[in-house]
Amino acid sequence: MSMVMVDIEADGPIPSDYSMVCFGAIVVEPSLSQTFYGRLRPISDKWVPEALAVSGFSREETLQFDDPREVMSKFSSWLKQHCRGNPKFISDNNGFDWQFINWYFHHFLAGNPFGFSSANLGSLYKGVVRDMFQSFKHLRQTTHTHDPVDDARGNAEALLAIKERYDLKIGLK
């Protein structure tokens, strides 16, 4: 089993009505050397300027991004190449990130290589330290920049720190 940390940026709150602009993924292993980055052309005419601004891209730029079907196909191939067994999806905000990745996989490829579940890094940390008011974010080494690969890397660093400090049993590639 391989854990894959994912972070996405979108131009609105939900998939289908709005678009995933870009996403990054990293296989959670000590080297953190296996990364994926995709930029996707919008699938909708709707977008929220404030949401898009977080990504650092303009609407005009996103219109030149890659075909979403091609990006999701490349991501699926990348997962097969770099993951052992079924990949496990984890993110900082899986309620947001998961909905887009899951929808895009099902819509464009008729299936999600991650299956039907995801994990939330923040909830995991709260359980490990037994305190619902704690945050893992101090364990990141890479600055949170809203570049999805940077953000996935910082979250993967935090997960590795949690594993080390608290003897957390997780599958690593």
Kindly list the domain boundaries of the chain, sorted by start residue. 2-166
Q: What is the pLDDT of residues 56-100, one digit of tens each?
A: 999 999 999 999 999 999 999 999 999 998 999 999 999 999 999
Residue 68 and residue 104: Cα distance in Å, rounded? 8
Q: What is the pTM of this model?
A: 0.97
Active site residue 107: no
Res 173: pLDDT:
57
User: Which class is 2-166 in CATH?
Assistant: alpha beta
Residue 34 and residue 124: Cα distance in Å, rounded? 23
Look at residue 143 and tell me whether its pLDDT is greater than 80: yes
Q: Which residues pair with 6 in a beta bridge?
A: 25
Q: Which residues pair with 89 in a beta bridge?
A: 4, 118
Residue 136 and residue 156: Cα distance in Å, rounded? 11
Q: Which of 97, 135, 76 is nearest to 5 (CA)?
A: 97
Q: Quick one: what percent of the chain has pLDDT higher than 90? A: 95
Among 82, 106, 107, 146, which one carries the catalytic annotation? Answer: 146
Res 171: pLDDT:
73
Mean pLDDT (whole number) for 120-142: 97
